[in-house]
Amino acid sequence: MFRRLFGSGARARVFLRPGATLSTEVLRAHRARHTPALRERRAGQTTNFIVFSDGTANGDAAAQAMLGSAEGDFQATQQWFGGLTPPNLPFYVYADPNAGGAYHLSCAGTDVHVLSDPALAPGFLTAEIVEVFEAALNNGWDCGVTNGESLSRVLAFDRHPEIAGDFNQTEQDWWASGHPDHVNDNSAGDTDQLASGCGDLFLYYLHSQLTFDWPSICSAGGPALGACYRSLTGYDPAQGFRDFIAALSTIDQGGTLALPPSGNPFPVKTSRTQ
């Protein structure tokens, strides 16, 4: 839908709360450039971020929350991505009650709209920061499809576990749907919550079950999560997906996964050495 809206030259990239929507009218309004809200005002600036409030009490609080966390989240992301500094800094960040989560108009885009919720805004901003680093690294992570969307989510959850619980149901829904292989099929878009639920769990599997650190995972990249697995382990990604499903099967309770609030069930005990 977003590609049809903007044409082939611009693809809006979105990270929505489950059940949230982002209207095409909102995206049209920002196609060429950010359209200021009626009471928008600059809330503050750090080294890599200029943050704006929408002029509401929630917008003011969200802007201050992001100002308080953004540099730490940027530095953590920079370490995950091998010390890389992306182009087109600083980020221009807008508290936006219509964002539904967070969005920017391309994976590399540093104009970011984030929901006006002070408890959630820092985490959603972090996901978009990660996507900008993915685009700059350019080693296969694509924020428009499952592998890049899932990486941005789990790294945001790592920094901001307060937003992770909202997404547990996406993991459950993927499992309940027959757990299709979105590890080796990377065709699903960034708004496909089932595919991202699979991707989140597989990245947790790589990190917490197979014990690869986030910098190694980010550096491995590849055109799909299966390719990342092959680069890290040297093994067939089809077998990797089967081992992943077998590990999750040990926490299946009548068709529902026994997930902690973080959404990351690993490590788990398996009958086979992973």
Q: Is residue 265 part of a domain?
A: no
99 pLDDT higher than 50? yes
Same domain, 37 and 122: yes
Question: Per-residue pLDDT averaged across 177-193, rounded?
Answer: 97
d(CA 22, CA 121): 16
Asked if residue 46 is part of any domain, the answer here is: yes
Q: Which residue has the tokens 């992001």?
A: 66
Q: Which domain holds residue 250?
A: 146-257
Are both 42 and 169 inside the same structural domain?
Answer: no
Question: DSSP for 22-62?
Answer: --HHHHHHTSSS----TT-EEEEE-SSEEEEE-SSHHHHHH
Domain assignment of residue 271, yes or no: no
Given 119, 137, 155, the domain boundary residue is 137
Asked whether residue 129 falls in the same domain as residue 27, the answer is yes
User: What is the Cβ-side half-sphere exposure of residue 70, based on CA atoms within 13 angstroms?
Assistant: 26
Q: Whole-model pTM?
A: 0.89
Q: Is residue 274 part of a domain?
A: no
Give per-residue pLDDT as tens, 42-95.
Answer: 999 999 999 999 999 999 999 999 999 999 999 999 999 999 999 999 999 999
Determine the Cα–Cα distance for residues 78 and 33; give it in Å rounded to an integer. 27
Domain boundary among 69, 102, 137: 137
Q: For residue 269, is it within any domain? A: no
Answer yes or no: is 270 within a domain: no
155 and 93 within one domain: no
